Amino acid sequence: MGGPYNIPRNYKGEGRILFIFSTKAFIYTLISGLIGVPFWFVFRIFNHSLVGLIFIVFFALIGFIIGTFKIPDNQRFEFNRNVGGEAIDDIIVRWIKFKKNGKRIYVYKEETKDVK
């Protein structure tokens, strides 16, 4: 009758900042929010600072989504069969590498011998 058993978890990137942000999500949010800053400067020139702030929040929200969420594991669609359960940022990085390498994918295939 032992005590409760702790199920092992992957703790990668789980340091929390301000309760909702993991370290990775916080960095993605900051960087993508900085993409909205030039829009804020442009709209501030025309006395529409609020519209510029909306752009900053919009881009920061996109960065938060990319850094936090994973692709749902759904077998109905071909895309989800291949990448279901993986982080969105990992998929984006792989896509960039795929385009950079001239649309070639290298797969390591290990041959195994059956033991009788």
pLDDT at 88 over 90: no
From 24, 58, 56, 61, select the one nearest 43 (Cα to Cα). 56
Q: What percent of the chain has pLDDT over 70?
A: 66
pLDDT at 9 over 80: no
For the segment 9-31, the average pLDDT, to the nearest whole number, is 73
On whether the CB atoms of residues 56 and 40 are closer than 8 A, the answer is yes
For the segment 8-25, the average pLDDT, to the nearest whole number, is 66
Residues in the chain: 116
pLDDT at 29 over 80: yes
User: What pLDDT, on a 0 to 100 scale, did the predictor assign at position 45?
Assistant: 93
Per-domain residue ranges of the chain: 14-69, 71-107
pLDDT at 94 over 60: yes
Q: Whole-angstrom distance between the N-terminal and C-terminal Cα of the chain?
A: 41
Identify the residue with better confidence: 101 or 34.
34
